[in-house]
Amino acid sequence: MKALLLATLAGGFFLFPAQAAIAAEHEVQISAYKFEPAELTIKRGDTVVWVNREKRVSHSVLFSGSGEESERFFPDEKWSRVFDEPGRYEYGCGPHPEMMGVVIVTD
C-alpha cells in the first residue's frame, strides 16, 4: 500500500474522491409584515433561515401543502428548514395569513 502511494505521488497522479455538493444556506428576512425575498430558488439539500426583523411582532412559517408550521419566533430570532426534495413549497405566516412566500427547490 505504501509503495503504491509513493509510486502514485512520484508519478504525479493524485486520486481524490469525487467532491460532494456542498449545501448552501439562504436567508429570508421578515420585516414590515413581508418575507424578503418572497420567492427563493434553491438547490436540493440547501437550508433556508427565516429571520424576524420586526420590532415587536412574532411570526411563524406555515407550509400550505403539508400543514407543517414552525414555532412562533420573536424579533431577532430565527427558524430554519432543510429542503431535501425538489418542488414548490408555498408558505405563509400562521398568525398573519396575508404574508406569503415560496421556496422553489431544484435538483
Q: pLDDT for 53-71, tens place per residue? A: 999 999 999 999 899 999 9
pLDDT of 18 strictly over 90: no
Q: Which residues are CB-neighbours of 86 under 8 A, at least 6 positions away?
A: 44, 105, 106, 107
- pLDDT at position 20 is 56
CATH number of the domain residue 83 falls in = 2.60.40.420
**Amino acid letter at 41?**
T
- Summary mean pLDDT of the chain: 87
pLDDT of 19 strictly over 70: no
Domain count, the chain: 1
Does some domain include residue 48?
Answer: yes
SS3 4: helix
- Can you read off the three cell numbers belonging to residue 8? 502514485
Taking the model in full, what pTM does it have? 0.80
Does some domain include residue 16?
Answer: no
